């Protein structure tokens, strides 16, 4: 038993130095040199200022923006009370409500009512009223975006066809008919929208 202490200990320490220190340091150096955009989190700039990450959703509310999916993230305020902090990317996670959770259905019902009020009668896409796994979902379904487009066009005094065309232009589609889904990145959509007209 004792004869194994030296090899075990030195192997663990050596692997820690190689795999835990040298390797990540070298790989980070290489990543920063060759793919700095991705390595730093795909940060997007506008007028020289970083406005977010292309991969991470942001919170948008109000009639002039495309609205992202509900986010289940929460934090505490200065008084220690739990408050909703949607799209706070210093944390991540879903709601963890089960399929028979009464509270979850209450939330979904009020979101459905709000959705119908904002975008008029019609189908309610599943993704528009349910929380995502990460709380930072950057995308909404193409159906959801197209449902929102006319109301946003009115709020921004743009022709509805222009906004719908923008959605279709930025949409990502299922690859080879199998991989991925039909969706739109909300930040990129709103960024393009803000270039067309001031909110």
Between residue 42 and residue 71, which ones bind another protein under the rule CB under 8 A?
42-43, 46, 49-62, 65, 69
Told to check if 146 binds another protein by CB under 8 A, we report no
Tell me if 118 contacts another protein by CB under 8 A.
no
123 binds another protein (CB under 8 A): yes
CB proximity list for 122: less than 8 A, separation 6 or greater: 116, 147
Among 4, 79, 157, 159, interactor with another protein by CB under 8 A: 4
Task: Please provide residue 75's backbone torsions phi and psi, each rounded to the nearest 5 degrees.
Answer: -145, -165
127 binds another protein (CB under 8 A): yes
Inter-residue contact 141 to 125 (CB < 8 Å): yes
Which residue among 76, 83, 84, 91 contacts another protein (CB under 8 A)? 91
Distance CA 94, CA 16 (A): 33
Contact call for residues 158 and 197 (beta carbons, < 8 A): yes
Only segment of 76-84, 151-159, 163-171, 183-191 that touches another protein (CB under 8 A):
183-191
- Quote the tokens at residue 30: 């290489």
Size of the residue set binding another protein (CB under 8 A): 100
Min CB(36)–another protein separation in Å = 9
């Amino acid at each position: 038993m004792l004869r194994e202490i030296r090899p075990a200990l030195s192997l663990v320490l050596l692997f820690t130095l190689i795999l835990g220190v040298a390797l990540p340091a070298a790989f980070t150096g290489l990543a920063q040199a060759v793919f700095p955009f991705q390595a730093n989190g795909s940060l997007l700039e506008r007028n020289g200022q970083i406005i977010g990450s292309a991969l991470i959703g942001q919170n948008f509310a109000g009639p002039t923006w495309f609205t992202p999916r509900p986010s289940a993230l929460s934090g505490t305020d200065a008084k220690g009370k739990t408050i909703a902090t949607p799209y706070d990317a210093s944390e991540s996670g879903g709601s963890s409500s089960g399929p028979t959770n009464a509270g979850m259905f209450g939330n979904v019902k009020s979101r459905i009512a709000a959705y119908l009020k904002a975008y008029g009668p019609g189908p309610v896409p599943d993704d528009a009223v349910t929380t995502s796994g990460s709380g930072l979902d950057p995308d909404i379904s193409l159906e959801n975006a197209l449902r929102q487009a006319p109301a946003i066009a009115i709020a921004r005094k743009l022709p509805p066809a222009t906004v719908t065309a923008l959605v279709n232009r930025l949409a990502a589609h299922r690859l080879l008919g199998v991989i991925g889904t039909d969706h739109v990145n909300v930040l990129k959509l709103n960024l393009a929208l803000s270039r067309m007209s001031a909110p």
